[in-house]
Structure 1
Amino acid sequence: MVYDDIIVGSGLAALATALGLAPSRKVLVLGGPETGQLEFYGDQKSIPSSYSGVGGLGNFWHGVIPTAIRAPYARECRSEIAELFQYFYPRTSIQEKIDQRWLFVPRRPVRPRREWERLSRERGDNLRFVPLAVDRFDTRGGGQTVLAADETFKSRRLWIAAGVLNSPKILSRSVSPDLRRAFISDHIICYAGQIHQHTPDYSPPQVERAGDGFWLAFEFSSDGDALLTQRPARFDYRTLDRGIEQRAVYGLPTNSAMVRLLKTTSPGLVAEAIFNKFGLFPRSPVLSVYAQLLVRDALDFSREDAALKPIDHNAAQAVSRLSLPWPALLRTGRPDLFLRGIHLHHSIDLDALNAAGLASDESAVRVVDASTISGIGPEHHSFYTMARAYRLAREASS
């Protein structure tokens, strides 16, 4: 059988691609092995960097959705952002938040495995999901031939959404090693310091309740390169730099994070976690300020068979350039401590991709995950990337 579309991957970008394709199309999803492999940033194995399996890193996404839409790749997807949001969160309106500095924290993050089951019910026989990992593809002879395990599949169009680590590896094996960059960019999250709620010219965090979660206002740094959030600093966290290492718990997969949290002896950590998850008790005399920063070429990706190697001086330079809008902020004494996010991007050489003819709207092979996004901006990128994939798929199948 020749499918209209084959989607490689089953994470958030792959899911959005399927949603964007016309329901009448015959679509095959090669979703990765049923028993997946989780990789981490470092030896401590606390923060996942990739998941080669059904659902991808969407299995561990916290679900935060921003609405300022500053990044160029996202600005052209305003309507798609609103449509996808309405699909997943029908009891909450996003329209009045578009282009405003808000983060939506849902009660239930989008989980690809659950959503694939829902979409399969909606599309019926037009959507086939096979839990296989793709080795490579071949564009010779007309159409697209995809090799996965010992099986071969054919389609008229191919969508690559295997993740920031796996997509360039597939392209390297299928087209050219030149498509794979030697570096990957990322976000890091650092603790910037503390500020008192009654500081002149300072606005404490705003929280608005919604049907499917809550909205949290945020700020940008003075130069616009960082996303800033303020969290209540209660109990032991009222002391500057208290518990910076403990905050690494938020990088853990959800179940492990909750176990660690319940065992903690820090009431400040518990109070901050409750605010992060539910938006409860935002008013506090002292607030912790966090910054989400873009680090270009944050990780060494030069060896396919080796773990990602952090390039520490690039992260340190990003932290040193942090410009905060509040002169009264009591700055941290430990700028060397930060958390690496789950925001990997730009692992494919865009010039090489264009030279290979895989970056145009006419191409029958498109890469739709964050591996092809270079200017990601300071905001959380996952939902924006979904909207971009959704738009590309909808345009191609209209």
Structure 2
Amino acid sequence: MDFGFTDEQALLRESVTRYLEKNYSFEARRALVRSDRPFSPEVWATFTELGLLGLPFPEGVGGLGGSVVDVVAIAEPFGEHLLVEPYLPTILLAGRALAAAGEHPVARDWLARIVAGDAHGALAHEEGRGTPDPARVATRCRRSGDGYRLDGEKRLVLGAAHADVLVVTARIDDGTGGLALLVVEPGASGVRITPFRTIDGRSAAHVGFDAVEVPAEHCLTTDAHAAITATLADAVVALAAEGVGAMTALLRRTAEYAATRKQFGVPIAGFQAVAHRLADMRIACTKARATLLRTAALAEAGRAAPRDISVLKAQVGRLGRAVGEAAVQTHGGVGTTDELAVGHYLKRLLAIDAMFGDSEYHLRLVGAGTPAV
């Protein structure tokens, strides 16, 4: 099994990296986070031109038919540059959930708009229990006239504050207890959106549904368990790639700082404690990236088991936190300030660990032999 990138994937990765190095400096990113804009429309337009929005989708909706490894190839540079653009919520969550609906006309219409860069989406799935397990969904979908009535609340919905469409999971009351997947417009009567910024500067919201009337044609499926599980598994791989990219950037910045910061007239990199810390950071980055590439290769081959996804999520969450904390400790007090990138990377790694179940959650699942995604 090949754990490397193809020439085409390496070229795509290099193109994205060059663009971000030229146009997405830390200062530019920090100014964006401080503004009232959730992301840069200019950067999103460039992603559209580069074909990144259509990368993981079939050609029938204007996509490129890319694989999970193609997404990993661009997600690592996203993590290195702390990208705040909604690639995860719009493309890898809402978009992939819509794509799983197959030829459904409503799903196809929204997906085509997303690929063209004309719409943003959000997947309203988790409900504040700290786990992506579809079995925990309690939001209810009941028959009402010719359509459905939706009641419940979703927590920490990434990208919901600026989404044009919400893709919602709900437990359907038809006697089967199946998982329905519905398309809901944020402006519909009964939809409550409470926006906020996450610890790492991204846009999110809590979303409530109070007797929201959903047309029958906006119910994409009443058996969405497998589709949501597959969507979340691929999203975890992409999120782990972002984490590995952030860890790599932290290692590089910390090594450079230790080589130039002097105490007692010598660089602190020569101190045994600092040298050992840098070595531990490098080992952690190597372990995390090796796990990422192996899992991505298994996923591309259709051989990634739920256990593999949980192992990856646990590894990146645990090792990412260790690398982030070591970087801040090496930089000292300045590492916690807003002016230095180190603290921002740590916040992103903490957020990555918390999403879709933290490292402790996935380690318990692996130990019990019942991973959820």
TM-score, structure 2 normalization: 0.29
**Whose helix fraction is larger, Structure 1's or Structure 2's?**
2
